[in-house]
Chains A and B, each alone.
Chain A
Amino acid sequence: MNTAFEITNLSYRYPGSLSNVLDKVSFSTPDSGATALLGPNGSGKTTLLELLLRFKTPFEGAITLFGKKSQEYSKKSFAQLVSLVPQLEVSRFSFSVLEQVLFGRTPYIDALATPSQEDVEIAWLALKRTNIEHLAQRRVAALSAGEQQLALLARSLAQQPRILLLDEPTSSLDPANVALVLSLLKELKQEGMGLIFSTHDPSLAAELADRAVMLKKGELLFHGEIQMAMEDKLLSHLYATKMRTYTIEGRIVVVRS
């Protein structure tokens, strides 16, 4: 297993602000398996994802990706390595599912060019991979939230990345759709794709992740194996409320007590 992201002393503050929303955070993620970013609201999870994505520029510290400074990749080659599955967003224009998935091919299309037939076929495979090829011609806005999430996931797969960043991948889904998305993410993990996802739900982290990164008020509280992270005292401290872990049918479940 190689190192994908290596984060050293990473700090971020909003322009004009004097306090850091992320303060001297250091950890690394391997190029396969899943890493969960855990923390209460406002702990800096989304900021961290945006820094990894280069959507924000670090105030201090460094991020390397596969041994090379993250900033040194061209926009195109970075987007061929790292993809984002954002929180649910739906275009105001009536794009079809296939059109939206085709957008994921953009890092492989020259600035003034348009998608080739090969791009269309790769997008199609991404639809098949997410089991939504029957929705190809439907308008994205007409889909259920779960289907929309799968369509965003398909867009990211069409991007053929090595690392997938996911911002709260299941937060707006009902249980059946959570199960659908989770089983797909587990498969992708098995196939060797690196996942880094933020979540409010420690049980989800326990189910999907191999490692956890815990943030509290912008500081790194813990990083390491997921089994070590799922511990009552640590979780209670993280969320500033009493948390308990149970093992039910071999799965770790975290609840407020």
Chain B
Amino acid sequence: MSADLQSYNRQLAQSKQKLVLSIVLLLISSLGALFIGRYPVAGFASPQLLLSDPLYAQVVLHIRLPRVVLAVVGGAALAAAGYVFQMLFANPLVEPGFLGVSQGAAFGAASAMVFFGSSAALIQVFAAVGGLVALFLSYLIARLLRFGGSILRLVLAGIAVGAFFSALLSLVKLAADPHGSLQEITFWMMGGLYNSNWSMAVWVVPIIGVSLTLLLLFRWRINILSLSAKSAHAVGLAVGVQKGLLLLCATTATTAIISVAGLLGWVGLIIPHLGRKLYGSDARYSLGGSALLGALFLLLCDTAGRTLLSSEIPLGVITSLCGAALFVVILSQKEKEREFEHSL
């Protein structure tokens, strides 16, 4: 075996080690986040108190634990979905929001708040349906368009659908009570996990779990689907069917977390870049790696948001601040600059 082949195998082994390290880091952070908060004292409280203080146990098990679980699962979903979108569209600057999913979900959630009161379950269902309807509309409109290749058509249709739902959202806001549901809508759109509970987690976690498992199973094919349609076809893939299935999985996972946590900007756009930088371009490693980084990122942002100040900072605000900053850092680095240039 030649030296180069050995060094390739060594690289793969390193990527695997990095993945294992990331999992360990995520587990430690998750565990740590459970014991950080504002009760019984601001900051870290010892796990030993769980035995002596029943209220503390209640807070950890029924408030913080579901919140940590949702942050981890949601972060993984947003990052993995963004990763898959970037690969399948062969464009490092896209994420599920490009197909109008975020705007659709926002419109759905706002409608539920204005017209059906503020039942949490109803808001989640409406947001999920709104997101999926937007995806479906983008797909249908893309088939009607007579301009550009299939990918360009999908993106153009997504822009139209996004604008359409933004306009509808404004209409709904107009009808909203300025002292009631309008404030609620604004707050929802900032995104946050502040009202996490187990009844949310029990349906969000399985949906995201199944979607992410499917995406991970297809990790080799995701590499191939980032090539031109002709090249992917030439090595034996049913390109249209597989892209459709993977986009559906990615959007379902995204919609599931948006529906309970509102709009969490930049995670799906920026984390996959870090993932490829850290674990390499091969989706066998960087898809899972991006999901782990996304989980860690959202967990850290959420924990910071609920502990830094005495009142909570909305999660979407923190992810956007960090995301935009990371974006500039990545853009100003030479090697990755090329990746962006191609897509502009």
Contact call A92/B228, Cβ cutoff below 8 A: no
The residues of B that contact A75 with a CB separation of less than 8 Å are 236-238
Report the minimal beta-carbon distance from A136 to chain B, rounded to whole angstroms.
Answer: 5
Nearest to A128 among chain B residues (CB) is B2
Contact A94 B236 (CB under 8 A): no
Q: Does A113 sit at the interface, judged by CB under 8 A? A: yes
A103 CB contact (under 8 Å) in B7, B217, B224, B339: B224
- A201: chain B residues at CB < 8 Å are none
Nearest-Cβ distance from residue B277 to partner chain A, whole angstroms: 9
Q: Is B179 close to A, CB under 8 A?
A: no
The segment from B22-30, B87-95, B162-170, B290-298 found at the interface with A is: B87-95
Once the chains bind, are B92 and A92 in contact (CB under 8 Å)?
yes
CA distance A89 to B2 in the complex (A): 28
A104 within 8 A of B: yes
- Docked pose: A111 CA to B220 CA in angstroms: 9
Give every chain B residue within 8 A of A53 (Cβ-Cβ): 230, 233-234
| Nearest CB in chain B to that of A133: its residue | B4
- With both beta carbons as reference points, the residue of chain A lying nearest to B146 in the complex is identified as A16
A103, B91: Cβ atoms closer than 8 Å: no
Give the residue among B220, B229, B284 with the most A Cβ atoms within 10 A: B220
A53 to B230, CA, bound (A): 9
Q: CB of B8 within 8 A of chain A?
A: yes
Tell me the minimal C-beta distance from B46 to chain A in angstroms: 44
A79-B236, A113-B220 known; A103-B343 Cβ under 8 A: no
Given known pairs A78-B236, A86-B231, the reply for A92 and B90 (CB within 8 Å) is: yes
- Give chain B's interface secondary structure class: helix
* In the assembled complex, A247 has its CB within 8 A of some CB on chain B: no
Residues of A within 8 A of B91 (CB): 92
> Contacts of A113 on B, CB cut-off 8 Å?
220
Residues in A with CB closer than 8 Å to B228 are 86, 89
B: interface residue count bin: 35 or more
Number of A positions contacting B (CB below 8 A): 41
Whether B282 and A99, one on each chain, are in contact in the complex, defined by CB atoms closer than 8 angstroms, is yes
Confirm or deny: B16 has a beta carbon within 8 angstroms of a beta carbon on chain A: no
In chain A between 37 and 56, which residues have their CB closer than 8 angstroms to a CB of chain B?
A: 50, 53-55
Q: Is A103 within 8 A of B227, CB to CB? A: yes
Contact present for B220 and A109 (CB under 8 Å): yes
Alpha-carbon distance A137/B233, docked complex (angstroms): 25
Could you tell me the distance between the alpha carbons of A137 and B7 in the complex, rounded to whole angstroms? 9
Query: Within the assembled complex, what's the spacing in Å between the Cα atoms of A96 and B2?
Result: 17
- Distance in angstroms between the alpha carbons of A112 and B217 in the assembled complex: 5
CA A104 to CA B235, docked complex, whole Å: 6
Q: Could you say which residues of chain A place their CB within 8 Å of the CB of B342? A: 92
- CB neighbours of A104 from chain B (8 A): 235
Task: Tell yes or no: B5 within 8 A of A by CB.
Answer: yes
A83 within 8 A of B: yes
Task: Provide the A156-198 mask, 1 if CB < 8 A to any CB of B, else 0.
Answer: 0001000000000000000000000000000000000000000
Say yes or no: is A224 at the interface (Cβ < 8 Å to chain B). no
> Which residue on A lies nearest to B282, using beta carbons?
A99
Instruction: Identify the interface centre among B87, B90, B92, B234: most chain A CB within 10 Å of its CB.
Output: B234
Contact indicator per residue, chain A 90-124, by CB within 8 Å of chain B (1) or not (0): 01111110110001101101011111000011001
Starting from the known contacts A107-B235, A134-B4, 14 additional A-B residue pairs (CB-CB under 8 Å) come to A50-B230, A53-B233, A53-B234, A54-B233, A75-B237, A75-B238, A84-B234, A86-B231, A91-B90, A94-B339, A114-B284, A137-B4, A137-B7, A141-B338
Selected A-B contacts with CB under 8 Å, 22 pairs: A75-B238, A83-B235, A86-B230, A86-B234, A92-B226, A92-B339, A93-B339, A94-B276, A98-B8, A99-B281, A103-B227, A103-B231, A103-B235, A106-B220, A106-B221, A109-B220, A112-B218, A115-B220, A124-B2, A136-B4, A136-B8, A137-B7
